[in-house]
Homo-oligomer: A and B are copies of this chain.
Amino acid sequence: MSAGMTAGHTTATVESAKREGKKSLVLVMSKGGADMAYPALILATTARALGMDAHIYFTFWGMQLLTSEGRKKSMDVFPPDMQKAIAAKFPSIEQFMQQAKQAGVHIHACSPTMDMFGMTKAGLVNEVDDVIGASTYLELASHPDALTLFI
Protein backbone atom coordinates (compact mmCIF):
# COMPACT_ATOMS: atom_id res chain seq x y z
CA MET A 1 0.00 0.00 0.00
CA SER A 2 1.47 3.36 -1.02
CA ALA A 3 1.94 6.19 1.43
CA GLY A 4 -0.83 8.12 -0.30
CA MET A 5 -3.40 5.49 0.62
CA THR A 6 -3.56 6.33 4.31
CA ALA A 7 -6.98 6.50 5.88
CA GLY A 8 -6.94 10.29 6.02
CA HIS A 9 -6.14 10.65 2.35
CA THR A 10 -8.85 8.18 1.38
CA THR A 11 -11.45 9.99 3.45
CA ALA A 12 -10.55 13.30 1.88
CA THR A 13 -10.69 12.00 -1.67
CA VAL A 14 -13.94 10.14 -1.03
CA GLU A 15 -15.45 13.36 0.27
CA SER A 16 -14.32 14.98 -2.96
CA ALA A 17 -15.90 12.18 -5.01
CA LYS A 18 -19.19 12.74 -3.20
CA ARG A 19 -19.17 16.35 -4.29
CA GLU A 20 -17.84 16.02 -7.86
CA GLY A 21 -18.39 12.43 -8.95
CA LYS A 22 -21.31 10.72 -10.56
CA LYS A 23 -24.42 10.31 -8.43
CA SER A 24 -25.68 6.83 -9.25
CA LEU A 25 -24.33 3.33 -9.83
CA VAL A 26 -26.35 1.20 -12.24
CA LEU A 27 -25.23 -2.44 -12.45
CA VAL A 28 -26.36 -5.03 -14.97
CA MET A 29 -26.09 -8.43 -13.27
CA SER A 30 -26.05 -11.07 -15.99
CA LYS A 31 -24.38 -13.98 -14.15
CA GLY A 32 -25.96 -16.41 -11.70
CA GLY A 33 -22.94 -17.40 -9.60
CA ALA A 34 -22.04 -16.03 -6.17
CA ASP A 35 -18.54 -15.21 -7.52
CA MET A 36 -20.06 -12.33 -9.49
CA ALA A 37 -22.93 -11.63 -7.05
CA TYR A 38 -20.48 -10.72 -4.26
CA PRO A 39 -18.66 -8.04 -6.30
CA ALA A 40 -22.01 -6.60 -7.45
CA LEU A 41 -23.39 -6.43 -3.91
CA ILE A 42 -20.16 -5.02 -2.49
CA LEU A 43 -20.12 -2.30 -5.16
CA ALA A 44 -23.83 -1.45 -4.74
CA THR A 45 -23.74 -1.25 -0.94
CA THR A 46 -20.49 0.75 -1.02
CA ALA A 47 -22.10 3.18 -3.47
CA ARG A 48 -24.99 3.66 -1.04
CA ALA A 49 -22.51 4.25 1.81
CA LEU A 50 -20.93 6.97 -0.33
CA GLY A 51 -24.32 8.61 -0.80
CA MET A 52 -24.86 7.46 -4.39
CA ASP A 53 -28.06 5.94 -5.73
CA ALA A 54 -27.61 2.26 -6.55
CA HIS A 55 -29.50 0.01 -8.92
CA ILE A 56 -28.98 -3.64 -9.87
CA TYR A 57 -30.72 -4.79 -13.04
CA PHE A 58 -30.76 -8.60 -12.86
CA THR A 59 -30.89 -10.15 -16.32
CA PHE A 60 -30.33 -13.50 -18.00
CA TRP A 61 -28.46 -15.91 -15.66
CA GLY A 62 -28.55 -13.17 -13.04
CA MET A 63 -32.30 -13.72 -12.71
CA GLN A 64 -31.45 -16.96 -10.89
CA LEU A 65 -30.31 -14.77 -7.99
CA LEU A 66 -33.89 -13.53 -7.70
CA THR A 67 -35.26 -16.99 -6.85
CA SER A 68 -34.79 -18.76 -3.50
CA GLU A 69 -33.45 -21.92 -5.10
CA GLY A 70 -31.09 -20.11 -7.50
CA ARG A 71 -29.70 -18.02 -4.67
CA LYS A 72 -28.66 -21.17 -2.78
CA LYS A 73 -27.26 -22.81 -5.90
CA SER A 74 -25.21 -19.68 -6.62
CA MET A 75 -22.58 -20.87 -4.12
CA ASP A 76 -21.93 -24.02 -6.21
CA VAL A 77 -19.34 -22.09 -8.23
CA PHE A 78 -17.04 -22.49 -5.21
CA PRO A 79 -15.53 -25.76 -3.97
CA PRO A 80 -16.87 -26.77 -0.49
CA ASP A 81 -13.83 -25.59 1.49
CA MET A 82 -13.98 -22.17 -0.17
CA GLN A 83 -17.71 -21.99 0.58
CA LYS A 84 -16.92 -22.48 4.26
CA ALA A 85 -14.15 -19.87 4.24
CA ILE A 86 -16.46 -17.32 2.61
CA ALA A 87 -19.36 -18.12 4.97
CA ALA A 88 -17.04 -17.45 7.93
CA LYS A 89 -16.37 -13.87 6.81
CA PHE A 90 -19.20 -12.72 4.56
CA PRO A 91 -23.02 -12.80 4.71
CA SER A 92 -24.79 -15.32 2.45
CA ILE A 93 -26.04 -14.02 -0.89
CA GLU A 94 -29.58 -14.06 0.52
CA GLN A 95 -28.55 -12.06 3.60
CA PHE A 96 -26.39 -9.70 1.54
CA MET A 97 -29.22 -8.97 -0.89
CA GLN A 98 -31.56 -8.23 2.01
CA GLN A 99 -28.96 -5.91 3.52
CA ALA A 100 -28.51 -4.18 0.16
CA LYS A 101 -32.25 -3.72 -0.15
CA GLN A 102 -32.41 -2.23 3.37
CA ALA A 103 -29.58 0.11 2.45
CA GLY A 104 -31.69 1.43 -0.42
CA VAL A 105 -30.30 -0.52 -3.37
CA HIS A 106 -32.98 -0.83 -6.07
CA ILE A 107 -33.53 -4.39 -7.29
CA HIS A 108 -34.87 -4.68 -10.86
CA ALA A 109 -35.92 -7.90 -12.61
CA CYS A 110 -35.60 -8.19 -16.39
CA SER A 111 -38.82 -8.48 -18.36
CA PRO A 112 -37.39 -10.07 -21.59
CA THR A 113 -35.56 -12.72 -19.52
CA MET A 114 -38.77 -13.67 -17.70
CA ASP A 115 -40.41 -14.05 -21.10
CA MET A 116 -37.50 -16.10 -22.47
CA PHE A 117 -37.31 -18.48 -19.49
CA GLY A 118 -41.03 -18.57 -18.64
CA MET A 119 -40.55 -17.03 -15.19
CA THR A 120 -43.34 -15.33 -13.22
CA LYS A 121 -43.21 -12.44 -10.79
CA ALA A 122 -44.77 -14.69 -8.13
CA GLY A 123 -41.68 -16.92 -8.30
CA LEU A 124 -39.29 -14.11 -7.46
CA VAL A 125 -37.96 -13.15 -4.02
CA ASN A 126 -39.49 -10.28 -2.05
CA GLU A 127 -36.53 -7.97 -2.59
CA VAL A 128 -37.57 -7.27 -6.20
CA ASP A 129 -38.79 -3.69 -6.66
CA ASP A 130 -40.10 -3.97 -10.20
CA VAL A 131 -39.83 -5.68 -13.57
CA ILE A 132 -38.25 -3.50 -16.25
CA GLY A 133 -36.96 -3.83 -19.80
CA ALA A 134 -33.90 -2.67 -21.66
CA SER A 135 -35.30 0.78 -22.39
CA THR A 136 -35.77 1.59 -18.69
CA TYR A 137 -32.26 0.29 -17.99
CA LEU A 138 -30.85 2.53 -20.73
CA GLU A 139 -32.81 5.44 -19.33
CA LEU A 140 -31.19 4.93 -15.91
CA ALA A 141 -27.72 4.23 -17.30
CA SER A 142 -27.61 6.98 -19.89
CA HIS A 143 -28.08 9.74 -17.36
CA PRO A 144 -24.98 11.97 -17.39
CA ASP A 145 -24.57 11.41 -13.63
CA ALA A 146 -24.72 7.59 -13.83
CA LEU A 147 -21.87 5.11 -13.67
CA THR A 148 -22.81 1.79 -15.24
CA LEU A 149 -21.15 -1.64 -15.40
CA PHE A 150 -22.12 -4.95 -17.03
CA ILE A 151 -21.30 -7.76 -14.62
Interface residues of A (CB under 8 A from B): 1-2, 4-5, 10, 13-14, 16-17, 20-22, 25, 28, 30, 35-36, 38-39, 42-43, 46-47, 49-50, 52, 59-61, 82, 85-86, 89-90, 112, 115-118, 121, 129-139, 141-144, 147-151
Contact = CB atoms under 8 A, between A and B. Distances in A.
Give the interface SS of chain A, mostly helix, strand, loop or mixed.
helix
A85 B113 CA distance: 12
Contacts of A90: 116
B43 A138 contact: yes
A21 B118 CA distance: 32
10 contacts: A1-B131, A13-B139, A14-B139, A21-B142, A21-B144, A22-B144, A30-B151, A35-B61, A38-B116, A138-B147
